[in-house]
Amino acid sequence: MPELPEVEVVRAGLEPAVTGARVTSVTVLDERSLRRHDGPSEDFVDRLTGRTFLAPRRRGKFLWIPLDDDRVTTPEALVVHLGMSGQVLLREPGTDDALTRIRIDIEHPGAGPLLLNFVDQRIFGSMAIDRLASAPDFVDETVPSQVAHIARDPLDPRFDDARFFTRLAAKKTTIKRALLDQTLVSGIGNIYADESLWAARVHYDQPTATLSRARARGLLSEVRAVLNRALAEGGTSFDAQYLNVNGQSGYFSHSLNAYGQQGKPCPRCGRPIVREQFMNRGSHFCAHCQRVR
């Protein structure tokens, strides 16, 4: 599933092309991609056509494009969830992509007509129009109601480190489960959890209550470093299921130290990286460098 770096790459790619653009037409080719929209496809089309996009925003893995407020009293946004294989591709008008589920034609005041193709192979992603509501952590910020339960991510300027450490210590769980808890900290999935834990030398099954404040601070620092490196390399792509808005892959997969590296030598100590079953997925780590303390 695309994590924070991949979604941020998509958001940044969309920003210059959609900000200020007007939606001229909407075509829903597969209603399964509206599973999170409260209404039929006709409602989605009617409410989106003619609206103007504002600057795209993101929290964790959630991306949304606020809509102008001319028609409604309650602010709304187009919410995009990429799921496992969702892509938002910027195309020239009339360009078709295989597996396009929703097609949005827009007119940008500077770039002219453009096309947004929502492509999704596995159809776990979605688009929806949702109302914007006050964020529970800051009253001067609004987020879609579908995103209200999502915590801030570590790269958010308003992320509260002290609050995170306090909540982490109070949790009765293990550290990787905590990192994947989007109500505690958002944007981190399996790939970047494994990479951050490897960098911090913390075992994925370390109980959160036993993690010292110093080690928790070091882990958070590594999380930020890993996410920033992944952003710089355009995210992680193992196949064509994740692409940026121009249809290009990210290259962070070439920089992975732990995730997907089972059987290969640990870059730090040379012993083999191992993979263990974890929450219907896998955890990748060095059994020598990362021990439960």
CA-based torsion, 155, 156, 158, 162: positive or negative: negative
Distance CA 240, CA 262 (A): 22
Catalytic residue positions? Answer: 2-3, 61, 281
Three-state SS letters, 12-29: HHHHHHHCCCEEEEEEEC
